[in-house]
Copies of this chain bind each other. A is one copy, B any other.
Amino acid sequence: MALIKKPVTGMKDILPAEMQLRDYVIGVIKDTYGKFGFTSIETPAVESLANLNSKQGGENEKLIFKIMKRGEKLNLETAKEENDLTDSGLRYDLTVPLVRFYANHQNELPAPFKALQMGYVWRADRPQKGRYRQFMQCDIDILGEPSNLAEIELILATTTTLGKLGFKGFQIRINERRILKAMAAYSGFPEESYDSVFITLDKMDKIGIDGVREELEKDGFDKAGIDKYLDLFKGVQDKGAVEGLKFIAETLGEFLDEEVKNSLEEIITSVDATKSADFEIVFDPTLVRGMSYYTGTIFEIAMPQYGGSCGGGGRYDKMVGKFTGQDTPACGFSIGFERIIMIMMDEGFKIPGEDNKVAYLIEKGVQGEKLSNIIAKAQEERAAGKQVLVARMNKNKKFQKEQLVAQGYKDFNEFYKNPLN
């Protein structure tokens, strides 16, 4: 029977060249985050549907790959709805599993707990170019740290990692959910319409300030309020991060708790003073971040030269309490792993230390002790740190060597049955 050669719809095979880059990037990430005291953890790919559907996942909850019950539990005849057939599914992010993990193991973990998670997630999204239904997420989270030290460490760790991967000239954009709300309150928008206002504000990058005005007007908001609102964003243009923040805080006056401004200012100045990569931290009052679970700081990696966001995160102080019944401060940062890989592939990134490869090609008739001697030599070179491929010589040796050159082999060692030939 001929079998199906393609991967299932929307998922992909990873070939050696990309895999080599992925392994390298994973190594740099684990090493760098390790230096910041983050420890790796893992959770299963499968989670109970009760947890996955807990409303923390937003739109992603519609994209779950559900796993069928098995054996006696699966009764097709009496099944009336989907939930009679399934009670678990593939995770769509690493945040819900992290919070479950923390609830389950809190007593075995240090406080604060600094977690690194790298793992696949699955979403039944409409397949499109460069977006797959299985993809890797790379999250760091600090649980149990209420102060802005969490934000500072998350941003430094992430930017140091990006720097080690060769990225420069990027931005970390930062904002605060409470500033977002204060700006909306100051402009007189009714509280129940905040979410709708933020969805419009989030489009600033694409449609500009006039587009935002148009959309808000279309939604029927008061013109004076819209003017007041948009003047805030005009006011920060061409201001540095701290000056922009100060301008917003002064304008908002009593609408904004001074502590919020002070803490955000401290994050910006501390990161600026201690950063070890070439990037800029920018206060961006138009930054929204979609997930409803954020409660405080929010931030995003912006790489305009590569068309937008390469990751982000923020503070979510209320989510752990939903699992444990006890509020625990939490803050996380996620690198857009697949995006980073795509950019590095496009830019032709060269992995360091890839120049130690040698191929031994052995003619078919070489056997016995002679073969052993060749292999012994390869073993010696390997022990000394070389990468040694040992292979039989193909009939078409020229093509074989071309293939090996394409894989980065430059040195060749050829062994014949009769060396005089």
Contact = CB atoms under 8 A, between A and B. Distances in A.
Interface string A122-133: 101000000000
Contacts of A391: 37, 112, 145, 149
Contact of A37 (B43, B74, B266, B388): B388
A74 B85 CA distance: 12
Nearest to A79: B76
A42 B14 CA distance: 5
Interface in A47-79: 47-48, 50-51, 54, 65-68, 70, 74, 76, 79
A23 interface: yes
Given A45-B45, A105-B13, A134-B46, A371 B3 contact: no
A369 B272 CA distance: 11
A83 to B, nearest CB: 11
A414 B112 CA distance: 16
Given A3-B54, A111-B394, A124-B70, A19 B36 contact: no
Nearest to A63: B70
A420 interface: no
A36 B104 contact: no
A307 interface: no
B50 A156 contact: no
A88 interface: yes
A291 interface: no
Interface residues of A, number: 112
A322 interface: yes
Interface string A24-35: 000100100011
Contact of A104 (B5, B45, B160, B376): B5
Interface stretch (A233-241, A308-316, A331-339, A378-386): A378-386
B50 A375 contact: no
A220 interface: no
Interface centre among A3, A100, A111 (most CB of B within 10 A): A3
Contacts of A104: 5-7, 13
A134 to B, nearest CB: 5
A270 interface: yes
A292 interface: no
A219 to B, nearest CB: 31
A38 to B, nearest CB: 9
A307 to B, nearest CB: 26
Interface stretch (A189-197, A243-251, A295-303, A400-408): A400-408
Contact of A371 (B8, B47, B270): B270
B15 A134 contact: no
Interface in A171-204: none
A23 to B, nearest CB: 6
27 contacts: A3-B103, A5-B103, A5-B104, A7-B43, A7-B47, A16-B39, A16-B109, A19-B41, A35-B382, A37-B387, A37-B390, A44-B134, A45-B45, A45-B90, A66-B67, A67-B67, A67-B90, A68-B82, A70-B124, A76-B85, A111-B403, A114-B389, A145-B391, A152-B375, A160-B379, A274-B375, A276-B379
5 nearest CB pairs, A to B: A37-B389, A11-B44, A16-B39, A14-B42, A19-B40
Interface of A: 1-8, 11-16, 19-20, 22-23, 27, 30, 34-37, 39-48, 50-51, 54, 65-68, 70, 74, 76, 79-82, 85-86, 88, 90, 100-101, 103-105, 108-112, 114, 120, 122, 124, 134, 145, 147, 149, 152-153, 156, 160, 266, 269-270, 273-274, 276, 322-323, 325, 357, 359, 362, 364, 367-369, 371-372, 375-376, 378-379, 382-383, 385-392, 394, 400, 403-404, 406-407
